[in-house]
Amino acid sequence: MKFEQFQLERNQSLFENEVDYNLSESGIHPLKISEILTLEEQNEILDIELSYGYTNGTPLLRRRIANMYGNDITTDNVLITSGSAEANFLAVMTQLERDDEIVYMIPNYLQIYHLARSFNMNVKTVPLREELGWQWDLDELKKNITSKTKMIVICNPNNPTGSIMSNEVMDEVITIANDLDCWLLSDEVYRGAELSGVECRSLAGATDKTIVNGGLSKAYSLPGLRIGWSVSSEEYINKAWSFHDFTVINVSYLSDWIASRILTEERRKKILNRTKEHLKHNSKLLFDWAKEITSISISRPEASAIAFAKINIPLDSEKFVFDLRDHYSVLLTAGKWHGLEGYVRIGYGTPSDYVLGGLARIKQYLISQ
Ligand SMILES: Cc1ncc(COP(=O)(O)O)c(C=O)c1O
């Protein structure tokens, strides 16, 4: 099988550990086990038997996640996956076939885009409009929806712009999906990382055919746990679980155990508060820095530790990123890898001094242009 290269992930894997300043990450600087578990729990870990556990996730973890989404969602509506990446993969593999048409927002984290195209599905891209605060233009969206649309795919909050879908657009998307009886796939892995500290609206349960994917890698600062999930109808969850038997069988029992402990309402709010404080502080650093720079202009994100910056000088995004990497040892991601040329994405989730160090080098680079 011939498949497309996931340029964003590959460039990050190759270089993120090689540069002095890795500003290519989109999450908040990771938490340590000692910061999230009590001493008693840390001791308990030493005695845990590392069994398979439950292939769909332990009932306790599924209950904790169901509770995050309100009354209509039960443990039977939740599947634990290896990151939200696996949850996205399962949605494409179980619901779509060759030649099926999907409607997809750009710019984006292009996992589903590359995956669907690699399996010869027809991906229709509909741009988010910067002049609308990185929202879909509803007329443009409607023009791209046809009776052949099998799935509408959303990333909300959006990577790389950090925008949150407005209620107006979301209501219309739900109406369209209901009228058409098509799938609605909402990747909500950045939910919980809002700069306002108020969790944005989830699409969970919005229609009978809605799949919401989330995880602990971004807002919860725990990418190394590799915990993700899908929330959907029982029918979908059972189907995705059957496919999951072929992918990873189940997530690490240890990760499931830790996630089950920290996702009580009180503890998860504590982690999200840390996220909010960190985002508030570092976004100020970024915007203060950006005031003096004219060769790029940064859109203000509403969520996530990333900002999408327009390049105002004649440089394509990959050249910008490669030059900066090779001559200033700073890694960003190129707009091209998010499906939109002319931009770069700057991550500001690392510790403040580190972010400032990276920004100082970017400034030097821009002055030299
Ligand atoms: C929008 C989006 N979805 C999914 C993922 C995959 O994350 P994970 O598998 O760690 O949950 C990422 C990673 O950057 C992402 O940006």
Instruction: Kindly state whether residues 26 and 146 are assigned to the same domain.
Output: no
- CA 84 to ligand 1 center in whole angstroms: 6
Would you say residue 72 lies in a domain?
Answer: yes
CA angle centred on 13, ends 10 and 15, rounded to 5°: 105
> 47, 41 in Cβ contact below 8 A?
no
pLDDT of residue 58: 98
Name the residue at shortest CA distance from atom 5 of ligand 1: 85
> 111, 6 in Cβ contact below 8 A?
yes
DSSP-derived pairing of the beta strands 135-136 and 122-129: antiparallel
Q: Give me the CATH number covering residue 256.
A: 3.40.640.10
pTM of structure: 0.97
- CA 244 to ligand 1 center in whole angstroms: 18
Ligand 1, residue 8: give the atom nearest the CA.
14
Q: How many domains does the chain have?
A: 2
Instruction: Kindly state whether residues 66 and 17 are assigned to the same domain.
Output: no
Q: 82 by DSSP, 3-state: which? A: strand
Instruction: Kindly state whether residues 204 and 276 are assigned to the same domain.
Output: no
Ligand 1, residue 227: give the atom nearest the CA.
11
Would you say residue 292 lies in a domain?
Answer: yes
Residue 287's φ and ψ, nearest 5 degrees, are: -75, -30
Our answer on whether the CB atom of 275 is closer than 6 Å to any ligand 1 atom is no
Our answer on whether the CB atom of 192 is closer than 6 Å to any ligand 1 atom is no
pLDDT of residue 70: 87
Distance of CA 244 to the CA centre of its chain: 20
pLDDT of residue 71: 81
- CA 64 to ligand 1 center in whole angstroms: 21
Would you say residue 200 lies in a domain?
Answer: yes
Our answer on whether the CB atom of 161 is closer than 6 Å to any ligand 1 atom is no
Q: Is 16 a residue whose pLDDT tops 90?
A: yes
Would you say residue 328 lies in a domain?
Answer: yes
| Res. 288 pLDDT band, cuts 50 70 90 | very high
Q: Give me the CATH number covering residue 296.
A: 3.90.1150.10
Q: Is 112 a residue whose pLDDT tops 90?
A: yes
User: Is the preceding peptide bond at 160 cis, omega within 30 degrees of 0?
Assistant: yes
> 363, 21 in Cβ contact below 8 A?
no
Would you say residue 19 lies in a domain?
Answer: yes
pLDDT of residue 184: 98
Instruction: Kindly state whether residues 259 and 293 are assigned to the same domain.
Output: no
Instruction: Kindly state whether residues 189 and 293 are assigned to the same domain.
Output: no
pLDDT of residue 7: 96
Q: Is 249 a residue whose pLDDT tops 90?
A: yes
Angle between helices 265-291 and 352-367 (to 10 degrees): 30
pLDDT of residue 1: 86
Q: Is 128 a residue whose pLDDT tops 90?
A: yes
- CA 230 to ligand 1 center in whole angstroms: 13
Give the model confidence (pLDDT) of 302-319 as tens digits: 999 999 999 999 999 999
Would you say residue 2 lies in a domain?
Answer: no
pLDDT over 70 for what percent of the chain?
Answer: 100
Instruction: Kindly state whether residues 55 and 81 are assigned to the same domain.
Output: yes
pLDDT over 90 for what percent of the chain?
Answer: 98
Give the model confidence (pLDDT) of 134-168 as tens digits: 999 999 999 999 999 999 999 999 999 999 999 99
Would you say residue 177 lies in a domain?
Answer: yes
- CA 85 to ligand 1 center in whole angstroms: 6
Q: What is the mean pLDDT of residues 82-109?
A: 98
Instruction: Kindly state whether residues 151 and 202 are assigned to the same domain.
Output: yes
Would you say residue 66 lies in a domain?
Answer: yes
Strand order in the sheet with 296-298: 296-298, 306-311, 343-347, 333-334
Give the model confidence (pLDDT) of 169-212 as tens digits: 999 999 999 999 999 999 999 999 999 999 999 999 999 999 99
Average predicted confidence (pLDDT) for the chain: 97
> 261, 222 in Cβ contact below 8 A?
no
Last residue of a domain, one of 242, 267, 292: 267
Instruction: Kindly state whether residues 68 and 184 are assigned to the same domain.
Output: yes
* Residues sharing a CB contact under 8 Å with residue 128, sequence separation 6 or more, in sequence order: 105, 106, 107, 134, 135, 136, 158, 161, 163
Last residue of a domain, one of 247, 267, 287: 267
d(CA 115, CA 247): 15
Instruction: Kindly state whether residues 25 and 47 are assigned to the same domain.
Output: no
Q: 311 by DSSP, 3-state: which? A: strand
| Res. 92 pLDDT band, cuts 50 70 90 | very high
145 DSSP 8-state letter: -
Instruction: Kindly state whether residues 23 and 39 are assigned to the same domain.
Output: no
Our answer on whether the CB atom of 57 is closer than 6 Å to any ligand 1 atom is no
Ligand 1, residue 82: give the atom nearest the CA.
9
Ligand 1, residue 214: give the atom nearest the CA.
11
Ligand 1, residue 108: give the atom nearest the CA.
1
CA angle centred on 233, ends 232 and 238, rounded to 5°: 95
Our answer on whether the CB atom of 189 is closer than 6 Å to any ligand 1 atom is yes
What is the residue range of 286's domain? 7-32+269-367
**Residues 276/277/280/284 CA torsion (nearest 10 deg):** -150
Q: Which amino acid is at 281?
A: H
Residue 366: which H helix or E strand, with range? helix 352-367
pLDDT of residue 164: 98
Our answer on whether the CB atom of 214 is closer than 6 Å to any ligand 1 atom is no
> 355, 348 in Cβ contact below 8 A?
yes
Our answer on whether the CB atom of 155 is closer than 6 Å to any ligand 1 atom is yes
- CA 160 to ligand 1 center in whole angstroms: 11
Instruction: Kindly state whether residues 213 and 75 are assigned to the same domain.
Output: yes
Our answer on whether the CB atom of 85 is closer than 6 Å to any ligand 1 atom is yes
Q: 333 by DSSP, 3-state: which? A: strand
Our answer on whether the CB atom of 213 is closer than 6 Å to any ligand 1 atom is no
Our answer on whether the CB atom of 108 is closer than 6 Å to any ligand 1 atom is no
d(CA 88, CA 367): 40
Instruction: Kindly state whether residues 27 and 93 are assigned to the same domain.
Output: no
Last residue of a domain, one of 224, 242, 267: 267
Residue 169 token pair: 């657009």
